[in-house]
Structure 1
Amino acid sequence: MTLVESITLFGIMVLLAALPSSSVALVIARAATFGPANGIAVGIGIVLGDLLFVALAIAGMSAAAEMFGGFFVVVKVIAGLYLIWLGIRLLTSSSAPPRVPLESHQGKSLAASLIAGFALTLGDIKAILFYASLLPAFIDLAVISVQEILTIVAITILSVGGVKVAYALLGARLASIAGRNRFTGVYRKTIGSIMIGAGGFLIIRT
């Protein structure tokens, strides 16, 4: 995994983490209601969930490469098509971001916030499909090294965690920005285009 590939993957994951979503809404809700520390705790829970999905994606894709050999090319094509499908959905979906009701998360403890973030992430099972689709565009999972795994883990922590912490620290101020339909619409189209490009690149690379 080259430095350019690492920077590119980091940039894509930052943009995706900043996309108005239920996880962003939960971070803002906890931070605005109970203070930035609770928002950060939610962010940590989200990162832990993402790291679990990354581990499952790496293990699953690596096993597929070893077991099926040439058939893995088909798997990578399917992964590329999945990214393109995600991009098209972002381009055509409603610009209104999902919201998390404040009253549905009343516990004030940091542990409750962390668990809420972790549970919310685990509830999005399609995230593992996303990681299994995105990672092969930047790394050969058939011969992945320990150093590359550590690089992916670091990128996930810094990109996803960094964005969620920023949302938590700014809290209520960002709530109005995240809810602006015009801002959200433009952002979704930008990310959708990036996903389509990544999917096309993955298919061509096979």
Structure 2
Amino acid sequence: MSSGSLLALFGAMLIVALVPGPAVLAVIARTFSSGFSRGLMMIIGITLGDFIFILLALFGLSIISEILGTTFLIIKYASAAYLIWLGISLFKSKSSAEDIKVSKESSLLANLITGLMINLGNPKAIVFYIGLFPAFIDVNQVVTVDVMTIMGIATIAFGSVNICYALLALRAKKMLNNPDASSLINKTAGTIMVSTGALVAIKA
């Protein structure tokens, strides 16, 4: 793979990453309500999902998405239901001065798994990668180093953008450091989370 191809691939992924989707909305809501560490764990889970889809696309295993269609569907609706449940819990929660600092209603591992489920619940991401890669690389000549490089590019492109969104949410949260703002944040994050869950559920 040439440096030019890698740079072009990075640019294409970065452009796609900048467009907010269900994963970005979930990261923003989670960071807004529970702090950066939990938002970061969700980002890691989303990135792991990208790794899985990259491997499937590069090695021509998109057929697996059809064979496991029902499994992907279950994951999709399970992640949507969980996001909606989290959103309702946040919306109904009572706020105090401490709520704005950190909310520990879910573990770091739970947030990582949620991010992974959100991504795996969208098997059409494989189609995105299958359509993207041939324009920049010869998929028939891909070796291990190429795979690792592509994963690195995806991590930087999607991960950096998601982290920026999380940091913006964190900054907004710190600017509203009082009980009334905490209530507003919880309700806003809850609304975003419920909307994200609904979007995940209805997205084709």
Instruction: Please classify the TM superposition score into its range, dividing by the shorter chain length.
Output: 0.5 to 0.7
Segments of structure 2 that go 5 or more residues without pairing to the other structure are 64-82, 91-104, 174-184, 189-204
SS at match of 2:20: coil
Q: 1:24: which partner in 2?
A: 24
Structure 1: how far apart are the matches of 2:116 and 2:147? Answer: 21
Letter in 1 for 2:148: L
Segments of structure 1 that go 5 or more residues without pairing to the other structure are 64-99, 177-206
Pick from 129, 132, 143 the counterpart of residue 131 of structure 1. Answer: 129
Q: Tell whether the 8 Å contact from 1:37 to 1:168 is kept in structure 2 after alignment.
A: no
Q: Tell whether the 8 Å contact from 1:45 to 1:114 is kept in structure 2 after alignment.
A: yes
Pick from 144, 147, 154 the counterpart of residue 146 of structure 1. Answer: 144
Identity value in percent: 39
Output aligned runs, 1:159-178, within 5 Å: 159-171=157-169, 173=172
Q: Which runs of 4+ in 1 moved over 6 A?
A: none
Deviation for aligned residue 1:165:
1.4
Output aligned runs, 1:32-47, within 5 Å: 32-47=32-47
Q: Tell whether the 8 Å contact from 1:41 to 1:110 is kept in structure 2 after alignment.
A: yes
Structure 2: how far apart are the matches of 1:15 and 1:9? Answer: 10
Letter in 2 for 1:120: I
Letter in 1 for 2:153: I
Change (3 A) 1:5 1:105: farther
1:159-183 CA-partner distances (Å, limit 9, x unpaired): 111111111122154999xxxxxxx
TM score, norm. by length of structure 2 = 0.62
